[in-house]
A and B are shown apart, each in its own frame.
Chain A
């Protein structure tokens, strides 16, 4: 196990090094640099900025300098003067964790559920409808999706979005808060985690004492629903909803938000939009895998043993069908980044991908490489976790030389 993890870690570092090198030299091909971007036409000023940032050196020298910093554990300093670590590990990271992290988990769960519904004894109409929705979600042009969300969510969300077209005295109690995304994530994450643990414990107890099966089935969903309701009921927790549904940066002049004449920066819309873009592929993979699992011998055996249809589906076929979906999901993480960039940009959300896009267009090399390095490390970490998980879950797969 340790040998395998060590080998994969060395491999991942090699991949990251190639990735960073390509990014660094790729960025040096851009037709502008940070100094020319902010030189405002003054050549002497631009040269001075270039010299002060070390951009007058050759690309190779800059690259070696960057590698030296990286080896000493530092991501360097952004050309704007702030340490890269401070920029990306601050608020942008938490906004992205909220949208990308929570959105990806929700998209995965929704994709699995719909894939299961579409593949197991579904009528052709239901199957066709679900497939069409999944393909539409997968192929819809993200700015158009954001536009539709902003336009049609207005009336639905007016009661929880206090700053759009509502006079100050009529605003909801959640309107003002000092909470940040970090506080919201802590509350949302911890309550959901506790809910899942409580739900699983109730399920285990229900099975052990042979309580009616619906108690075990509904324990976790009920605990999650209670956690979500608690955010709106407990006064001290209400600011979390403000962070989720509040529009912190109203800007009516740019992007789809501007065109619709409404505000951007809404975390909940970004989360929903990202989920719509991401769930389709998972659903289609789960559906295809479930269909192929239906004909397997172990399914017939489980049926012959007298297990109910739901038990055969959820406890046998679905478990095997999840693995290909999980693999596809982890491999597709960098591609989901594209959807995230578009959604965050269109909703004016100050997340990590907005930082990345702004930095790329300002040729802020340390910041671009730092952000990409973080995305790359997360993807490689997820891949490593997946390999261990697959080896654990699928007895047919064994990692060479290990006893996983």
Chain B
């Protein structure tokens, strides 16, 4: 067992691990980028979970007006209606409540983002660990595959696939899976492989090997803990692509009987009646700002993690602690 940044191969007690985790957690929360990112993400998560609760409580007496796909508010004569107390984000051209549409649209977006993030993390850690530990042909093959896949942008593949297949054959779950594999085995593996090769050449790994540790133990105890922060950054930055790609594919295809951030944007932009060419701003802004907000949330969390795990920041932090301890 080593310290997180591998300065010495000394056993670390449970209390020390807890202390370190608490310190990292504190640093994460006090980091501005991470705090804004977590706040934004928390807001969207809450929003996505709230719809069924509101349907059973606040909106129980008038559920028809708040159904996201086939709802219609008969009490309003002209749709789209501007924001009001009854409809906080107004209604769309078909008389549906925009807030309900947004809440329901966020769920598949989160599912694809979470699946993509998990697969990016898993595949990149697996491939880079295998390449750095086994080396030889495995390393060459990993490098060749990741560089080849880098040429094929995952968002483009997702856009083509979502347009080519109907939503019942290729949906947001498939999009998350495919995106995760493509992004995980390309950009993320390239970044993590470089880090893994550098870690495997450090003295504390040699020390662990001399002490009799087997390859599997070195991977589990020395390599993977050092790769996890970087993998999380890749996961967070990577999911921005899947959010944009799925929304754009929905925007292009505008599939029936579904709501998504892309279809909302399409609906907001293409409101054209007889002799009317205008824009449903409430629908448009709700969808566009949600896509930007969600992407920014994931990006900011990734940025925050990069900042708090940057060795230079840690060194500065250690110096501050040492100075404080000396002066005390």
Are B148 and A338 interface neighbours, CB within 8 A?
no
Structural contact, A136 and B248, CB atoms closer than 8 A: no
The answer to whether A331 and B150 touch across the interface, beta carbons within 8 angstroms, is yes
Task: Pick the residue among A284, A331, A360, A372 that contacts B152 (CB under 8 A).
Answer: A372
The digit string for B19-54, where 1 denotes a CB below 8 A from any CB of A, is 000000000000000000000000000000000000
Contact A143 B265 (CB under 8 A): yes
The answer to whether A19 and B152 touch across the interface, beta carbons within 8 angstroms, is yes
Flag if B151 contacts A379 (CB, 8 Å): yes
- The docked-state distance in angstroms from the alpha carbon of A340 to that of B27 is 38
Inter-chain CA distance A138–B295, complex, in Å, is 9
Q: Say whether B269 faces chain A, with CB atoms less than 8 Å apart.
A: yes
- A82→B292 CA distance, assembly (Å): 41
Q: Digit string of B234-245 for contact with A (CB within 8 Å is 1, else 0)?
A: 000000110011
Assuming the contacts A142-B244, A335-B241, asked whether A135 and B300 have C-beta atoms less than 8 A apart, the reply is: yes
What is the interface of chain B mostly: helix, strand, loop, or mixed?
A: helix
Answer whether residue A168 sits at the interface, using C-beta atoms and an 8 A cutoff: no
Distance between Cα atoms of A142 and B244 in the complex (Å): 8
Contact partner, B299, options A16, A30, A138, A334, Cβ 8 Å: A138
Give B303's nearest chain A residue, CB to CB.
A284
Say if the beta carbon of B203 comes within 8 Å of chain A: no
A329–chain B nearest beta-carbon distance, Å:
13
B153 touches A15 (CB 8 A): no
CB distance from B190 to the nearest CB of A (A): 7
The listed residue with most B CB atoms (<10 A of its CB), out of A261, A360, A375, is: A360
Known: A141-B244, A334-B150. Is A136-B296 also a contact (CB below 8 A)? yes
What residues of B have a CB within 8 angstroms of the CB of A136 in the complex?
A: 292, 296
A31-B169, A136-B296, A331-B190 known; A143 and B248 CB under 8 Å?
yes
Q: Which residues, 140 to 160 on B, are CB-close (under 8 Å) to A?
A: 144-145, 147-153, 155-157, 159-160
**Contacting residues, chain B, for A258 (C-beta < 8 A):** 270
| Interface flag for B165 (CB, 8 Å) | yes
The reply to whether B151 and A142 form a contact with Cβ atoms under 8 Å apart is no
* CB atoms of A15 and B144 under 8 A apart: yes
Given known pairs A19-B151, A140-B292, the reply for A32 and B164 (CB within 8 Å) is yes
Interface size of A in residues (CB-CB distance below 8 Å): 47
Nearest CB of A to B102, in Å: 14
Complex formed: what's the CA distance from A212 to B118 in Å?
58
Is B163 in contact with chain A by the CB < 8 A criterion? yes
B-contact bits for A1-32, CB 8 A (1 contact / 0 none): 00000000001001110110011001000111
Question: Given A18-B144, A135-B300, A141-B291, A360 and B153 touching (CB < 8 A)?
Answer: no
Is A147 a contact partner of B151 (Cβ separation < 8 A)? Answer: no
CA distance A270 to B185 in the complex (A): 31
Q: Chain A 329-344, CB within 8 Å of chain B: the 1/0 string?
A: 0010011011001100
CA distance A45 to B316 in the complex (A): 72
- What is the bound-complex CA distance between A327 and B156, given in angstroms? 22
Contact partners of B164 in chain A: CB under 8 A: 30-32, 360-361
**Residue A144 CB within 8 A of the other chain:** yes
Chain B, Cβ-Cβ closest to A373:
B151
> Can you list 27 A-B contacts with CB-CB less than 8 angstroms, sorted by A residue number?
A11-B147, A16-B148, A19-B151, A135-B299, A136-B292, A136-B296, A138-B240, A138-B295, A139-B295, A139-B296, A140-B288, A141-B292, A143-B269, A144-B265, A144-B291, A147-B284, A261-B277, A284-B303, A334-B151, A338-B156, A338-B159, A338-B244, A342-B248, A357-B160, A360-B160, A360-B164, A372-B152
